[in-house]
A and B are shown apart, each in its own frame.
Chain A
Amino acid sequence: MVRARDLFATVMLSGIYGLLSASFFILMDAADVAFTEAAVGAGIFPLLMLTVLTSVGRYEAERRRVRYLPLFVMVVLAGALFAAVLQMPPFGAVDAPSHGHVAQRYIQDSPAEIGIPNMVTSVLASYRGFDTLGEVVVIFTAAVGVVVILLGGRPKTPQQSTQALMAEHKVLRVVGKMLIPLILLFGLYVQFHGEYGPGGGFQAGVIFAVGIILYAMLFGLSNAQRVVPLGVLRWLVALGVLIYGSVGLANLVVGGEYLNYSMLASDPVTGQHIGIILIELGVGITVASAMVLIFFAFTRATRSRDELEE
């Protein structure tokens, strides 16, 4: 991948790279992470890169000669790292310190305290709920940043309807019509299934976004924006973060610490359930609308540039 001059091939290979790393995660018993890495690393990332490549041009300028300074620095860094890494606890060691201490608590107590089988979601939403709030805010910042950089502040929904390039792909459109409801349904399933199996707010958000992006790709940006206008998206992005934050504040008002859901209901475990479902909803809404907003901004930016040219 380092050698390939053609950017397009690099993007495809990075797609495969995303899939490979995701399947590696599966072998490492990390279902949720594989889920997310597949959806992001092999799904959204190449998608965004391709939209960028349409206007940036496929071919790199010229083959760069191998630059020796970075190479030398890299070799030294690799050597130092090898030495350090050898002292790590061996791979998969049961007694390694990282498994003891804190993690044992999560494995033993989380089913009892929070009552959901998927420990990753329980740690994600409840034990370290504040990290996830930070994560949601990161997505929110990226969406606002992209909109500001590309669309210059207030996104306007385009009036004229640009005829989608994929018009002549009748077959794709028919299949698309059949598939998109299925995808959105699957997104909902993943959203509310987060406690019992791999899944959760973030992954569901990405699936929703992929469904809408597929619709936009097949039926053209303008009709997609009639379905999901940009103004509404801005509200949704903000709404998701506010849901998350206000659930935290609600716990504050009821008397517990920030993001302590056990106060929400009479019995702590049901309180946790309510809290986690609400949190996942907030995450799902923000992520879905942020991804769609970013994708619309990218396509509008590449498209509007061409209208100027033609």
Chain B
Amino acid sequence: MPELITLLSSLCLLLGAFLIFSGGLGVLRFPDFFTRMHAAGVTETMAVTLIVLGLMLHSGWGLPLFKLLLILLFVMITGPTASHALAKSALHGGLRPLGDDSNNERH
């Protein structure tokens, strides 16, 4: 049983690391703000869950497990809200997504 847990945790961690790397690359390479936003969003939510899950499995029962859960919960709440607020204020500030031809009538 314990080897399965360590295997699972290392699997999650690796997957998480890969996701982060791809997200980071996306933030750099994407042309427009909103696409970068998407890339960042991916890393913020998915990768965080994977890595924290991996850490949880790695740490076993105890206070650290609870703290990790708390962190996961917290990031889960704040991550999307922050991105939402960011997108909202970007739109409010007059930034238009690329290739959005509908902005003339909506203005």
In the complex they form, whether A and B have CB atoms below 8 Å apart is answered with yes
Instruction: Compute how far the CA of A178 lies from the CA of B74 in the bound complex, rounded to whole angstroms.
Output: 11
| 0/1 interface trace, chain B 43-63, chain A, CB 8 Å (1 if under) | 000000000000000000000
Interface size class of A (residues with CB under 8 A): under 10
Instruction: Compute how far the CA of A178 lies from the CA of B78 in the bound complex, rounded to whole angstroms.
Output: 11
Q: Are A179 and B77 in contact (CB under 8 A)?
A: yes
Q: Are A171 and B81 in contact (CB under 8 A)?
A: yes
- Residues of B close to A169: CB separation below 8 A: 85, 88
Instruction: Compute how far the CA of A171 lies from the CA of B88 in the bound complex, rounded to whole angstroms.
Output: 10
B33: shortest Cβ distance to chain A, in Å?
A: 16
Residue of B nearest to A174 (CB): B81
Q: Are B77 and A171 in contact (CB under 8 A)?
A: no
If over half of B's interface residues share one DSSP class (helix, strand or loop), that class is named, otherwise mixed; here it is: helix
Q: Are B74 and A175 in contact (CB under 8 A)?
A: no
B95: shortest Cβ distance to chain A, in Å?
A: 16
A153-187, CB < 8 A from B: 169, 171-172, 175, 178-179, 182
- Residues of B close to A175: CB separation below 8 A: 77-78, 81
| Cβ-defined partner of A178 (8 Å) among B77, B84, B85 | B77
Instruction: Compute how far the CA of A175 lies from the CA of B73 in the bound complex, rounded to whole angstroms.
Output: 13
| 0/1 interface trace, chain A 122-147, chain B, CB 8 Å (1 if under) | 00000000000000000000000000
| Cβ-defined partner of B85 (8 Å) among A171, A179, A182 | A171
Interface size class of B (residues with CB under 8 A): under 10
Q: Are A172 and B85 in contact (CB under 8 A)?
A: yes
- Residues of A close to B78: CB separation below 8 A: 175, 179
Q: Are A182 and B81 in contact (CB under 8 A)?
A: no
Instruction: Compute how far the CA of A182 lies from the CA of B88 in the bound complex, rounded to whole angstroms.
Output: 25
- Residues of A close to B74: CB separation below 8 A: 182
Instruction: Compute how far the CA of A172 lies from the CA of B81 in the bound complex, rounded to whole angstroms.
Output: 7
A247: shortest Cβ distance to chain B, in Å?
A: 30
A267: shortest Cβ distance to chain B, in Å?
A: 28
Instruction: Compute how far the CA of A171 lies from the CA of B77 in the bound complex, rounded to whole angstroms.
Output: 11
Instruction: Compute how far the CA of A50 lies from the CA of B77 in the bound complex, rounded to whole angstroms.
Output: 24
A183: shortest Cβ distance to chain B, in Å?
A: 9
Instruction: Compute how far the CA of A175 lies from the CA of B88 in the bound complex, rounded to whole angstroms.
Output: 15
| 0/1 interface trace, chain B 73-91, chain A, CB 8 Å (1 if under) | 0100110010011001000
Instruction: Compute how far the CA of A182 lies from the CA of B74 in the bound complex, rounded to whole angstroms.
Output: 9
- Residues of B close to A179: CB separation below 8 A: 77-78
Instruction: Compute how far the CA of A179 lies from the CA of B88 in the bound complex, rounded to whole angstroms.
Output: 20
B78: shortest Cβ distance to chain A, in Å?
A: 7
- Residues of B close to A182: CB separation below 8 A: 74
Instruction: Compute how far the CA of A238 lies from the CA of B31 in the bound complex, rounded to whole angstroms.
Output: 54
Instruction: Compute how far the CA of A178 lies from the CA of B80 in the bound complex, rounded to whole angstroms.
Output: 14
- Residues of B close to A171: CB separation below 8 A: 81, 84-85, 88
Instruction: Compute how far the CA of A171 lies from the CA of B85 in the bound complex, rounded to whole angstroms.
Output: 8
B45: shortest Cβ distance to chain A, in Å?
A: 15
CB-based closest 4 A-B pairs = A175-B81, A171-B84, A172-B85, A175-B77
B-contacting residues of A (Cβ < 8 Å)? Answer: 169, 171-172, 175, 178-179, 182
A-B contact pairs, 6 of them (CB 8 A): A169-B88, A171-B81, A171-B85, A172-B85, A178-B77, A182-B74
Known: A172-B85, A175-B81, A182-B74. 12 other contacts (CB 8 A): A169-B85, A169-B88, A171-B81, A171-B84, A171-B85, A171-B88, A172-B81, A175-B77, A175-B78, A178-B77, A179-B77, A179-B78
